[in-house]
Amino acid sequence: MLKTPLSIARLVRHGTTVHGAAECATWTGDGFRRASFAQLGRRAAQLAHGLRGLGVHGDDRVATFMWNDQEHLEAYFAVPSMGAVLHTLNLRLFPEQIVYIANHAEDSVILCDGSVVELLAGVLDQLETVEHVVVCGDGTDLGPLEGKGAQLHRYDELLDGRPESFDWVEGDEDAAAAMCYTSGTTGDPKGVVYSHRSIVLHSMAACMGDAMGLSPRDKALIIVPQFHAMAWGMPYAALMVGCSLVMPERFLQPEPLLAMIEQERPTFAGAVPTIWQGVLTELDAGRGDVSSLREVVVGGSACPPSLMRAFEERHDVRILHAWGMTETSPLGSVARPPAAAEGEEAWRYRATQGRPMSAVECRLVAEDGSVVPWDDEAVGELECRGPWVTAAYHREDDPEKFHDGWLRTGDVGRFTPDGFLTLTDRAKDVIKSGGEWISSVSLENAIMGHPAVAEAAVVGIPDEKWGERPLASVVVREGEDVGPDDLRGYLEDKVARWQLPQLWAFIDEVPKTSVGKFDKKVLRQRFADEELEVRSAG
């Protein structure tokens, strides 16, 4: 067979010609602006010329500080295809983390959305390697960015009049194409570098029928940010098969999301569970029409089974549960039940984290280093390897995270004999009580099954007798009234008696990380600082 490199350049050439009629629609607040993939290809070429003009060469890092929108997609197409490295900066991080990441990655150019200019202005003079900032949006005031050590440009002016084709670089398929930092809640964020090969292979896998099954007949609403694990690989997967895209820009609240869904009628969408929880509240109140959606993929944290059921049974939308990490590009496993499973059995499979994607090998390792059997009982830390699983962190020697050529995920769980993974916790969130492990995730799922509960997060707190005991922090739905005894009573036939939480805190909102996961570190701290009003059951 011919050996041709797997490259983003080829992906872009294919997607913008063969699928040139597919579209990207970006929400503006009261409607959409649109461009075809063919137009995006021409604009990507202009952007590449513009960036060359600014001195971008070799594997220079071009960062994006952007929401999900057309220009961000143009950067996805242009930067790796010109041989440079696309670095998607998470604009929701604390300023110190943004500074750390941009300096660590040695970004030379930042492409910035007009709506976040002020955010960037707050850190720009601390970014040691950034020479140019390119701002999208004609009318944006560049004033806040002035005098901070970088040359300023306007995006459209940078593109204006440039040639609409570019001699894309296709060299080494193992070369760096893009990078993304983990949103770790402890320690400094770590950089994961994706190669051209890993991205192309991951895109193919993402499009497989039993993964997202994207096709030219789909229109995907990409809610998960492009700065979070490459929007779960959806932009490149869509480019590969000509799936049109709907981009929400900064409008990520339930109301505008529902307006977008009603107007543009996407068939597919992807977001973390907390986004869908908000959308569900609106739908349950009779607002919104989601009948166009054939399926939505949910991951990033465990999807409560109650959320899946509510969407399917009340609103006829199928939720597909998937697991992954920044380090795994991110798709690792997808929960589609075996063909023969029906009814309750199918639901049980769908609530798991699913079966590993082909090419992603998984194993479970016990604390003593032995490999754990797949018997749906024995629990261990999940380790993975495969062509889109990272082998290292950027400029970071971190032997703790790797084990004989496998990535240590920090997730703890079990496998059924037929290969379905159930994650019971992050290694650091497992509650160790009286020598036994309590899964905080199982407790959360059980509590969130109560109709009056909107959200629940469980953390282990120190206990003299047991070592640790679970503390449940609960957000009660508006207009509902439940106390510790109601909830404990509700759990009695759902979880083992010794696991039942005694201590309950009722809070307004579960604190979240920059990418919408429950931030249990904050809850533990609030408890330690005696900021939580804790009530006891019984």
Q: Please say whether the beta carbons of 231 and 75 come within 8 A.
A: no
Which CB, 34 or 432, lies closer to ligand AMP? 432
Query: Which token pair is 400?
Result: 């703790």
* By CB under 6 A, residue 182 contacts ligand AMP: yes
DSSP assignment string, 109-132:
EEEE-GGGHHHHHTTGGG-SS--E
**182 in active site:** yes
The Cα-based distances of 44 to 167, 460, 471 in angstroms read 12, 49, 51
Q: 8-17 and 37-53 helices cross at what angle (nearest 10)?
A: 140
Q: Which residue is nearest to ligand AMP (CB)?
A: 326
E strands, 206-354, are: 219-222, 244-247, 268-271, 295-298, 318-324, 331-334
- Out of 157, 345, 432, 509, the active site residue is 432
* By CB under 6 A, residue 229 contacts ligand AMP: yes
**406 in active site:** no
Instruction: Give the x/- contact pattern for ligand AMP in 515-534, rule: CB under 6 A.
Output: x-------------------
Residue 477 φ/ψ, nearest 5 degrees: -60, 150
> In the bound complex, what is the minimum distance in angstroms from residue 424's beta carbon to ligand AMP?
10
* By CB under 6 A, residue 183 contacts ligand AMP: yes
* By CB under 6 A, residue 299 contacts ligand AMP: yes
Query: Which token pair is 387?
Result: 């062509």
- Out of 182, 274, 328, 409, the active site residue is 182
Cα separation, 359 vs 200, in Å, equals 13
Instruction: Give the x/- contact pattern for ligand AMP in 249-268, rule: CB under 6 A.
Output: --------------------
- Out of 106, 312, 347, 437, the active site residue is 437
* By CB under 6 A, residue 334 contacts ligand AMP: no
Q: Please say whether the beta carbons of 214 and 237 come within 8 A.
A: yes
- The closest of 240, 230, 172 to 205, measured between CA atoms, is 240
Which of 90, 301, 352, 499 is in the footprint of ligand AMP by CB under 6 A? 301
> In the bound complex, what is the minimum distance in angstroms from residue 502's beta carbon to ligand AMP?
26
Which CB, 409 or 442, lies closer to ligand AMP? 409
Q: Please say whether the beta carbons of 190 and 199 come within 8 A.
A: no
**367 in active site:** no
Q: Please say whether the beta carbons of 111 and 102 come within 8 A.
A: no
Interface size with ligand AMP, residues (CB under 6 A): 21
> In the bound complex, what is the minimum distance in angstroms from residue 353's beta carbon to ligand AMP?
5
Q: For residues 380-409, which are near ligand AMP according to CB under 6 A? A: 409
* By CB under 6 A, residue 423 contacts ligand AMP: yes
- The closest of 358, 352, 2, 361 to 211, measured between CA atoms, is 358
* By CB under 6 A, residue 353 contacts ligand AMP: yes
- For 46-109, the three-class secondary structure string (H helix, E strand, C coil) is HHHHHHHHCCCCCCCEEEEECCECHHHHHHHHHHHHCCCEEEECCCCCCHHHHHHHHHHHCEEE
* By CB under 6 A, residue 512 contacts ligand AMP: no
* By CB under 6 A, residue 321 contacts ligand AMP: yes
Q: 8-17 and 70-81 helices cross at what angle (nearest 10)?
A: 130
**16 in active site:** no
Which of 134, 169, 293, 302 is in the footprint of ligand AMP by CB under 6 A? 302
Interface contacts to ligand AMP, rule CB under 6 A: 182-183, 229, 299-302, 321-326, 330, 353, 409-411, 423, 426, 515
**Catalytic residue set:** 182, 327, 432, 437
